[in-house]
Amino acid sequence: MTRIAIDAMGGDHAPHEIVAGAVWAAQDYGVALELVGKQDRIEQELDRIAQEGIMSDCGTGGRQRRVKIDLSKLDIKVTHASEIIEMGEAPGQAIRKKKKSSIVLAVDAVASGSSDAVVAAGSTGAAMASSLFGLGRLPGIDRPAIAVTLPTMKKPIVVIDGGANSNCTPEMLYQFAIMGQTFSKNVLGIEKPRVGVLNIGEEAGKGNELAQATYKLLEEHQEKIHFVGNIEGKEIFLSVCDVVVCDGFVGNVALKITEGTSSMLFRMLKNEFKTDLAGKIIGLMSKPFMKRIYRKINYEEFGGALLLGVKGITVISHGRSKAYAIKNAVRVAKEAVETGVNEKIAKFYEE
């Protein structure tokens, strides 16, 4: 049985929502858990769940329902961590000073083999640094990158890097393309993923030096990468490619703009439906359709982003993740373990 280590103390709603989501995933996806954090607080949450179940809107923004949990049927291990790395701490210094922190011990569980993957919703920098130092890099990879899955009109796409590396070289972006392509094929099920470089125009000569050099490098390796050229930001959601390659600064800005825009549009629609009687009637009639659309674009459905390029599975969740998002992050971790995405990335460099 796949065992997932959970940084129970990371995130805005830890440990309440983190533990709830992990336990929910254990029940629905048949995984074992290693909950890492303040033991007394984790046990309090487990006792509460045993008595009350889990309250969740299941990510739809609708009416909450209670999910019943039978803890006696679940394989749950609790590992005490006496320290917590806070969001504002410098990641490198924090993991060196706080060797008994929940994220460091959760990664150590994967490194030692007691768990198969780690899920963390706390500091992205701390999760990345802990994974890099605790697990090491895959052969051929200079820097790990965050692979973020996004919905489109047809099928999911991967944006890599989603925020791990602000300063990149063309060689690093080439490696991101390889990792993103491998993830898309083996985890998302895209048979022949198309790879594009995020740029300000479609022409080969567009963009800064990094974008231009990356274009040339990917073009030279088309026997290994299905490179389709540059794509503009407006094309990310039009299914013109399956893997969007960029540095972490550009990728994170693009993702945050997307997140903010989608939230604003839904708030605007809700407000319009409340303006008059006709709006209220239309809003009531369209509610089922709006819920279906919301489920498709809601980050909670995707759960978390995989940190590719390290010798182990690390899934990084949004800092504000609640139980439903954590549940899906555990699912992502389980799928990554079962599909052997790391082994396939390493094999690419062996060939």
- Residue-number span of the structural domain to which 9 is assigned: 1-141+309-341
- 122 and 8 share a domain? yes
Q: What does pLDDT average to over the chain?
A: 89
> Residue 57 contacts by C-beta under 8 Å, 6 or more apart in sequence?
63, 64, 65, 324
Q: Which of 17-26, 51-60, 73-82, 135-144 has the lowest mean pLDDT?
A: 51-60
The average pLDDT across 208-224 equals 94
- 102 and 246 share a domain? no
Q: What is the pLDDT of residue 351?
A: 60
Q: What is the pLDDT of residue 272?
A: 79
Q: What is the pLDDT of residue 51?
A: 87
349 within a domain of the structure (yes/no): no
Q: What is the pLDDT of residue 63?
A: 59
- 208 and 290 share a domain? yes
346 within a domain of the structure (yes/no): no
Instruction: State how many domains the chain has.
Output: 2
- 179 and 53 share a domain? no
Per-residue CA distances from 320 to 183, 284, 339 (Å): 25, 29, 28
284 within a domain of the structure (yes/no): yes
Does position 294 have pLDDT exceeding 70, yes or no?
no
pLDDT per position as a tens digit, 225-276 = 999 999 999 999 888 999 999 999 999 999 888 888 878 887 888 887 888 8
Does position 59 have pLDDT exceeding 60, yes or no?
no
Q: Is 73 exposed, middle or buried (0-12, 13-18, 19+ CB in 10 A)?
A: exposed
Please report which confidence band the pLDDT of residue 60 belongs to, taking 50, 70 and 90 as the band edges.
very low
241 within a domain of the structure (yes/no): yes
- 64 and 120 share a domain? yes
- 276 and 178 share a domain? yes
